[in-house]
């Protein structure tokens, strides 16, 4: 388990994203009118301004677009080093999640690595983290 984090305040718009992990689903806001994803979730499509948006589960796989390794112990319970990565989400063009790649040594992570979402529950929030696909 990673260090305790500042957790998001859940509301009617972002709840599907932050709790999808309860069903092991990565849910992104999707526009039924223009078929584009909008992230972070919001009540209006950022592409066409339609309000016909709602959560849609994606595969939960992606590719490491870029990353860095943090060595600074920002929190007393933090375990360093750890990887902070920008993940390009499969099936959702233009959507990137900034998250952690876990479950491997930090030296094992590289740009272009295929990853799969895994969820870590803290309170009522399911944090989407990523593991390398072997």
What would the 3-class secondary structure string for 61-118 be?
EEEEEEEEEECCCCCCCCCCCEEEEEEEECCCCCCEEEEEEECCCHHHCCCCCEEEEE
DSSP state of 3: -
Nearest approach, Cβ of residue 50 and Zn ion (Å) = 4
Find the length of the chain.
Answer: 134
Nearest approach, Cβ of residue 64 and Zn ion (Å) = 28
By rule CB under 5 A, what count of residues binds Zn ion?
7
What is the rounded CA–CA span in Å between residue 114 and residue 69? 18
Nearest approach, Cβ of residue 94 and Zn ion (Å) = 12
Instruction: Kindly identify the residues of this chain, within the stretch 58-87, that bind Zn ion according to CB under 5 A.
Output: none
Return the number of the residue (45 or 125) whose C-beta is nearest Zn ion. 45
Among 25, 26, 29, 45, binds Zn ion (CB under 5 A): 45
When asked if residue 34 is in the footprint of Zn ion (CB under 5 A), the reply is yes
DSSP state of 23: G
When asked if residue 31 is in the footprint of Zn ion (CB under 5 A), the reply is yes
Contact criterion met (CB below 8 Å) for 129 and 102 = yes
When asked if residue 48 is in the footprint of Zn ion (CB under 5 A), the reply is yes
Q: Is 11 helix (H, G, I), strand (E, B) or coil?
A: coil
When asked if residue 39 is in the footprint of Zn ion (CB under 5 A), the reply is no
When asked if residue 50 is in the footprint of Zn ion (CB under 5 A), the reply is yes
Residues found near Zn ion in the complex (CB under 5 A): 31, 33-34, 45, 47-48, 50
């Amino acid at each position: 388990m990673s260090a305790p984090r500042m957790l998001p305040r859940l509301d009617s718009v972002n709840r599907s994203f932050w709790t999808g992990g309860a069903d092991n689903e990565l849910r992104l806001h999707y526009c039924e009118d223009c078929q584009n994803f909008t992230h972070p979730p919001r009540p209006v499509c950022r592409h066409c301004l339609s309000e016909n948006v709602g959560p849609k589960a994606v595969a939960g796989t992606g590719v490491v677009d870029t990353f860095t390794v943090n060595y600074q112990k920002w929190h007393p319970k933090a375990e360093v080093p750890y990887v902070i990565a920008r993940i390009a989400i499969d099936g959702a063009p233009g959507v990137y999640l900034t998250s952690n790649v876990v479950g491997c040594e930090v030296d094992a992570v590289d740009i272009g690595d295929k990853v799969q979402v895994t969820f870590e529950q803290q309170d009522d929030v399911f944090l989407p983290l990523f593991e390398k696909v072997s």
